[in-house]
Amino acid sequence: MQPNFIEYDTNYSYSGQLGAVWSKEKTVFRMWSPAANEVRVNIYNEGNDGERISVIPMLCINGLWEAEVQGDLSGKYYTYTVRIGFIERETIDIYARSAGVNGIRGMIFDPASTCPKGWEKSSPVKLEKYTDAIIYELHVRDFSADESGSFKFRGKFKAFTEKNVKNTAGDTIGLDYLADLGITHIHLLPVADYFTVDESDNKPQYNWGYDPLNYNIPEGSYSTDPYDGLVRVKEFKELILAAHKKGIGVVMDVVYNHTYLTMDSPFNKSFPGYYYRQTYDGYFSNGSGCGNEFASEREMARKFIIDSLCYLAQEYKLDGFRFDLMGLIDIDTLNMAAEKLKEINPSIILYGEGWTGGASPLEESRRAVKSNTYKLPDYAMFSDDFRDTVKGNVFSDQSKGYINGADQQLEWKMKSVLCAGVRHPQIHYGHNWTDSPCQVVNYVEAHDNLTFHDKLRLSMPTASMEDLIHIDKLGAALVFFSQGIPFIQAGQEFLRSKPVPHCGFDHNSYASPDSVNSLKWNRLTEFRQLADYYKGLIAVRKKFPELRMASGDDIRKFINFTDLGGGAFIARMRSVVLAVNPTWQDREIIATGYIYADGEQASDTPLRECDGRTVCKSRSILLVAEE
């Protein structure tokens, strides 16, 4: 039988502040567990070792357990002992805001003591509309782990604060380089405390971080001292401050869809079963493919997600959230969260994966999946349609897309994804799951699956390196010149590759070593011309609002297609003319104005003038604007 938790939602839910609320005079602890028979607070001097220095019984009113401790507890660590029947289990507070090593005990602290110098001047980036964002997906460790970069704080949050970092060829890398590239947001793979990297062991370890343990606590292995809970909070703020100083926003990748542990997770120790969905026969359901799924639709699980997002957005001045397997989160929770987050930061961007990782008991109509995008006006979703149309399906190495020689005609699909999938009078077959380009994230490469370059290599086995770069440029131009939100993975602009000795290329490098995952900064020098092309495309996108429309109506009104044969076409967008030619022949077009991008170069200052006939070269684009 499926356990029924509705009774708890109806009769026991609590809307006030949970967790350890610190002030100099006292700390108030509140935790919610109508299932518990007894709950005690344990106080420790340290985050891992040492005897408890005091135990405080909590009093229960209608499922809410509360205790008040006089005096200044800042710097102390704490846990709860929860007794249910005859079973007692000790757990970290699910609301804890920092912790000692490996996230076992929560920390009580004065948040003001974690603010780096200048923090009060740090503010999120201003964004008029989602389509103005240019997102760069990055893993904290990948950024600085490789020895080709002169970072002092390898693999740490602090690497983002380093200035004048160079690769071995002397080229500028690090955050200075990202600012120069022109991206508007860095999207960090999960930086909340995750389970599988042992923070107490300094040997090289790796995980993407989709194995969540504590949601409101930064990951300890990215700090210079995982034992002192203040350090990780402060150093994550330093990263954000450094980015904001460059005008770059920071997006957190959040994994509320499941927890790494199930039976022994802090949620399950606090209230067994409540925070997870069950199958009809009472087992943990597995819509995440990771052993459980978070029951976002239950009152206090929903409150947890919303409280967590609001706390992170406020405390860390974040610029956005990316939701992992967003399809497992119910629509109401996300809409309620968006309303509150927009109050905290009107420029915040919210987007996620509009699918699940397996079968879920959550009704289809309540899931934040692509087909329900219209019910989630503040959320964008990744366009796997764009990804697979441009370069071929991700589940087959050989499969080809529009740019790398697909057998079938993909012209309709390409036009459709170029228009963010919105309905358009000239497109009779497409990917229509939203009517707003602000809800569509366009990409050809992310942390999952092969890198764009590796995919091109495997799908075009006889292509030369020169050819592969040429096709890479065509794909990149489509990412930056399509309607929607452009998204690239870090290093894509210098042909990021994940070769595994004797095994081809890594599809799923979530726990692969640095040798596979880290950014090889010397490639920036090796493929400088390509990186400059990406930079130019970004500059062109920023220059022309025609490439960043905000509504389906504008797209229908202002974009007009002309076919050039063989899958090539022209998209006229007011004063901007974009020719797209995936064929092996050059195509002549008629246009007047200035050329800002072709298959070789892109810049926000004109490359050359064109007056009448001009050529869009084979397997490339041409962008002409009137001024």
In the complex, the residues that contact Ca ion under the rule CB under 5 A are 193, 220
Q: Which is nearer to Ca ion, 220 or 491 (CB)?
A: 220
The least distance separating Ca ion from the CB of residue 149, rounded to whole angstroms, comes to 24
Q: Which residue from 395, 490, 474, 384 is spatially nearest to 431, judged by alpha carbons?
A: 384
Known catalytic membership, residue 353: yes
Catalytic residue among 324, 388, 397, 546: 324
Annotated catalytic residue within 162, 211, 319, 353: 353
Asked if 390 contacts 475 with a C-beta cutoff of 8 angstroms, the reply is yes
Decide whether 100 or 536 has the Cβ nearer to Ca ion.
Answer: 100
CB 201, min distance to Ca ion, A: 11
Please say which residue, 198 or 448, places its beta carbon nearer to Ca ion.
Answer: 198
Closest by CA to 575, choosing from 592, 554, 590, is 592
What are the b/e assignments for 197-227, b being 16+ CB within 10 Å?
A: bebeeeeebbbbbbbbbbbbbbbbbbbeebb
Nearest one of 84, 51, 46 to 65, comparing CA atoms: 84
Q: How far is the CB of 221 from Ca ion (least distance, A)?
A: 6
By beta carbon distance, the residue nearest Ca ion is 193
Q: How many CB atoms lie within 10 A of CB 594?
A: 17
* Tokens, residue 527: 């493929």
Give the residue with the Cβ less far from Ca ion, 193 or 353: 193
Check if the beta carbon of residue 464 is closer than 8 Å to that of residue 457: no
Least distance (Å) between residue 209 CB and Ca ion: 9
Taking the C-alpha atoms of residue 512 and residue 573, their distance in angstroms, rounded to an integer, is 44
Residue 256 identity (one-letter amino acid) = Y
Q: How far is the CB of 214 from Ca ion (least distance, A)?
A: 8
Closer residue to Ca ion in complex, CB, 223/389: 223
Q: Are 266 and 143 in contact (CB under 8 A)?
A: no
Contacts of 507-511 with C-beta under 8 Å, sequence gap 24+, read 507/449, 507/450, 508/448, 508/449, 509/208, 509/447, 510/207, 510/208, 510/210, 511/196, 511/206, 511/207, 511/208
Phi-psi sector, 404: left (phi>0), alpha (psi -120 to 50), beta: alpha
Least Å from the CB of residue 251 to Ca ion = 20
Q: What is the DSSP letter of 247?
A: T
List active site positions. 324, 353
